[in-house]
C-alpha cells in the first residue's frame, strides 16, 4: 500500500490546490495590509528600582538598617538574580535584576511580589524611614515626542496648555498613553521676616514645629457603643475647600501666651521648585514635552496618519504665541524598514524570475517565482494570527529567509523535472 503524499495529492487534485492557493494568497494579503508596524518589537525589562530615604542617617546606617533587611527579603522571590545597592547619607537606591530565563509575561507578577514583601518589611524599619518607593515603568517607548513652547508665557499657563494637549491626544485611536515631561513641581514657600521673628523671640525651629504640628493629621480615637463604632474627627491638616496658601497664612503661631498669624511674620506664596531639578529647552526656549506611546499591535503608519490629522486640527485652536513642534517620530524609522524590505524582496523576486526562466523554462520558472510570495503570504497569515508586528527583527528574519525560500522552490521544481524526464508521470515525480 502506497503512503499518502501531499505533493502527489496536490498535483492530482488541481481544483482543490488552486482553491487553497487562492485562500492563502488572499489571507496573506489581508494580513500584510492589517498587520501592526513598529520600529522594534515589544519586550519586557526585568528590572526594578527601589528607593528609601531617612533624613539625617549616615550611609552606613542606611546600608545596615535599611538596605540589608530589604535585600534579605528579595532573596525569597522566584527568578531573583541580583541587586545593586547604592547607599549615601539619607538615601538608598537598589537596582533589582531578575534572571535572564524569566518567562515572558510574568514581569508584573514579579513586581507585585517585590512590592508585597518589601512593604511588609517596611513595618520593621527604623522610625523616620520613608519608603520604600518603587519604579518599574521602563517599557514605554515614545512613538512621537512633541515640544510645546510659548515665549514669554508663565510656566503655569504653559502647563495648562500641555494638559489640554495631553487630554486631546488620549482620544486618538491607537494611543496607549500620553506622558507630560518637564513640568516643574509646585511648592508653597514661606519667607520668614527674621527681624520681626527675633523681636518676638521666635526661632526658626520653633516656627517649624508649630507649622508641622498643625498640618500633621493624627488619629483622634473612637468611641465604642452598642452599635457601630464612632470615630472622632478633629480639625487637622488643610481643608480641601480652601486655598492652601490662604490656610497656611492664617496658621496661628504661639508667642508667649498670645497668638499671631503666620502672615504677620512671613510671606507665604505658591511658586515653582527653585532651583529646578532639571530644565528642558527647545530652540533656546523653556519647553514642555508631551510623549505619545503606541498601543500594542497597532500599525505605526496608521497611527502616524491619525496623529497628522490631529495635529492639523489642533494647531488651528492653539492660542496665539504657543508653538507645537515634533521632535521625534518613530514612523520615519518604520517607513525606512518596510521600504528596505520591499526593495530587497522585489529585487530577489526579479532575480529569481529571470534566472528561473532562463534555466528552467517558462512554466517551471513561473512556478518558482510564484512559490516565493505564496510562502511569504502563508508566513504573514501565521504572523497575524500570533499578533506579531512588522519590525526590524521580523523584517530582518524575512530578508534572511528569502534565500531559503528561493533555494527550496528551485530544488523541488528541478527534482520534479528530472524525474519527469526519466519517464515518471507528474504525480509520482511530485512525490
Q: What is the DSSP code string of 58-78?
A: -HHHIIIIIIHHHHHHHTTST
Considering the domain architecture, whether residues 285 and 319 belong to the same structural domain is answered as yes
SS3 159: helix
Residue 221 counted as domain residue: yes
- At 256 the pLDDT is 75
Cα 161-166-167 angle, rounded to 5 deg:
100
Tell me the average pLDDT across 121-150.
87
Residue 200 counted as domain residue: no
Considering the domain architecture, whether residues 295 and 320 belong to the same structural domain is answered as yes
Tell me the average pLDDT across 65-78.
90
**Residue 381 burial (10 A CB sphere; 0-12, 13-18, 19+):** buried
Residue 204 counted as domain residue: no
Q: Is 31 left (phi over 0), alpha (psi -120 to 50) or beta?
A: alpha
Considering the domain architecture, whether residues 295 and 306 belong to the same structural domain is answered as yes
pLDDT higher at 98 or 391: 98
Helix (H) or strand (E) holding 164: helix 155-169
The CATH number for 422's domain is: 1.20.1640.10
Q: Which three cell numbers stand for residue 347?
A: 529585487
Q: Which ranges constitute the DSSP H helices of 274-391? A: 300-317, 330-360, 362-385
Q: How far, rounded to the nearest angstrom, does the alpha carbon of residue 395 sit from its chain's CA centroid? A: 23
Residue in the block written with cell 522571590: 77
Considering the domain architecture, whether residues 338 and 416 belong to the same structural domain is answered as yes
Contact 336, 330 (CB under 8 A): no
Considering the domain architecture, whether residues 303 and 172 belong to the same structural domain is answered as yes
Residue 62 φ/ψ, nearest 5 degrees: -60, -40
Domain that holds residue 406: 6-40+333-430
Considering the domain architecture, whether residues 288 and 350 belong to the same structural domain is answered as no
Of 135, 152, 168, the one marking the end of a domain is 135
Instruction: Tell me how far CA of residue 262 lies from CA of 186, 188, 216, 256, 309, in angstroms.
Output: 20, 13, 17, 15, 53
pLDDT higher at 122 or 257: 122
Considering the domain architecture, whether residues 287 and 173 belong to the same structural domain is answered as yes
- At 239 the pLDDT is 52
Instruction: Tell me how far CA of residue 309 lies from CA of 173, 257, 304, 306, 313, in angstroms.
Output: 11, 68, 9, 5, 6
pLDDT higher at 70 or 299: 70
Contact 189, 268 (CB under 8 A): yes
Based on the structure, what is the number of domains in the chain?
Answer: 4
Q: Which three cell numbers stand for residue 330?
A: 518613530
Considering the domain architecture, whether residues 319 and 178 belong to the same structural domain is answered as yes
The CATH number for 286's domain is: 3.30.70.1320
- At 215 the pLDDT is 65
**Residue 257 burial (10 A CB sphere; 0-12, 13-18, 19+):** exposed
Q: Which three cell numbers stand for residue 106?
A: 510574568
305 pLDDT more than 70: yes
Of 228, 250, 271, the one marking the end of a domain is 271
Residue 202 counted as domain residue: no
Helix (H) or strand (E) holding 155: helix 155-169
Considering the domain architecture, whether residues 423 and 337 belong to the same structural domain is answered as yes
Closest CA to 261 of 269, 271, 252: 252
Q: What is the pLDDT of residues 205-227, one digit of tens each?
A: 777 777 776 665 555 565 666 66
Q: Which three cell numbers stand for residue 201?
A: 523671640
Residue 191 counted as domain residue: no
Rounded Cα distance, 325 and 172, in Å: 18
Residue 206 counted as domain residue: no
Residue 151 counted as domain residue: yes
Of 109, 135, 161, the one marking the end of a domain is 135
Residue 190 counted as domain residue: no
Considering the domain architecture, whether residues 340 and 426 belong to the same structural domain is answered as yes
Considering the domain architecture, whether residues 178 and 281 belong to the same structural domain is answered as yes
Helix (H) or strand (E) holding 160: helix 155-169
- The pTM score is 0.64
pLDDT higher at 12 or 32: 32
- At 431 the pLDDT is 62
Considering the domain architecture, whether residues 235 and 105 belong to the same structural domain is answered as no
Amino acid at each position: 500500500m502506497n503512503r499518502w503524499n501531499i505533493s502527489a495529492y496536490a498535483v492530482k487534485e488541481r481544483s482543490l490546490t488552486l482553491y487553497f492557493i487562492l485562500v492563502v494568497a488572499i489571507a496573506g494579503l489581508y494580513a500584510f495590509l492589517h498587520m501592526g508596524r513598529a520600529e522594534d518589537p515589544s519586550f519586557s525589562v526585568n528590572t526594578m528600582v527601589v528607593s528609601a530615604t531617612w533624613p539625617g542617617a549616615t550611609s552606613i546606617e542606611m546600608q545596615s538598617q535599611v538596605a540589608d533587611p530589604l535585600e534579605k527579603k528579595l532573596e525569597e522571590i522566584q527568578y531573583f538574580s541580583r541587586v545593586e545597592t547604592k547607599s549615601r547619607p539619607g538615601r538608598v537606591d537598589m537596582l533589582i535584576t531578575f534572571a535572564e530565563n524569566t518567562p515572558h509575561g510574568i514581569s508584573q507578577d514579579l513586581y507585585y511580589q517585590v512590592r508585597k514583601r518589601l512593604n511588609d518589611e517596611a513595618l520593621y524599619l527604623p522610625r523616620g524611614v520613608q519608603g520604600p518607593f518603587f519604579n518599574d515603568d521602563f517599557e514605554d517607548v515614545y512613538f512621537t515626542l512633541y515640544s510645546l513652547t510659548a515665549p514669554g508665557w508663565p510656566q503655569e499657563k504653559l502647563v495648562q496648555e500641555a494638559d489640554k494637549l495631553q487630554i486631546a491626544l488620549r482620544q486618538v485611536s491607537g494611543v496607549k498613553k500620553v506622558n507630560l515631561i518637564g513640568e516643574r513641581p509646585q511648592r508653597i514657600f514661606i519667607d520668614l521676616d527674621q527681624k520681626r521673628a527675633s523681636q518676638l523671640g521666635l526661632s526658626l525651629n520653633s516656627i517649624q514645629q508649630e507649622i508641622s504640628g498643625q498640618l500633621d493629621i493624627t488619629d483622634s480615637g473612637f468611641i465604642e457603643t452598642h452599635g457601630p463604632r464612632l470615630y472622632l474627627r478633629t480639625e487637622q491638616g488643610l481643608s480641601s475647600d480652601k486655598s492652601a496658601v490662604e490656610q497656611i497664612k492664617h496658621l496661628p503661631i504661639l508667642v508667649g501666651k498670645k497668638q499671631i498669624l503666620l502672615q504677620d511674620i512671613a510671606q507665604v506664596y505658591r511658586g515653582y521648585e527653585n532651583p529646578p531639578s532639571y530644565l528642558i529647552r527647545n530652540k533656546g526656549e523653556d519647553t514642555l514635552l508631551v510623549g505619545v506611546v503606541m498601543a500594542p499591535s497597532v500599525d505605526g503608519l496608521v497611527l502616524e496618519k491619525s496623529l497628522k490629522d490631529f495635529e492639523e486640527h489642533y494647531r488651528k485652536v492653539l492660542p496665539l504665541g504657543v508653538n507645537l513642534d515634533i521632535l521625534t517620530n518613530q514612523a520615519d524609522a518604520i517607513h525606512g524598514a518596510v521600504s528596505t524590505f520591499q526593495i530587497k524582496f522585489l529585487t530577489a523576486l526579479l532575480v529569481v524570475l529571470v534566472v528561473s526562466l532562463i534555466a528552467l523554462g517558462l512554466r517551471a520558472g513561473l512556478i518558482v517565482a510564484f512559490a516565493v510570495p505564496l510562502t511569504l503570504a502563508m508566513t504573514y497569515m501565521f504572523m497575524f494570527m500570533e499578533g506579531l508586528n512588522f519590525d526590524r527583527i521580523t523584517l530582518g528574519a524575512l530578508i534572511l529567509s528569502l534565500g531559503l525560500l528561493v533555494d527550496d522552490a528551485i530544488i523541488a521544481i528541478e527534482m520534479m523535472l528530472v524525474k519527469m524526464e526519466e519517464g515518471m508521470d507528474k504525480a509520482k515525480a511530485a512525490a
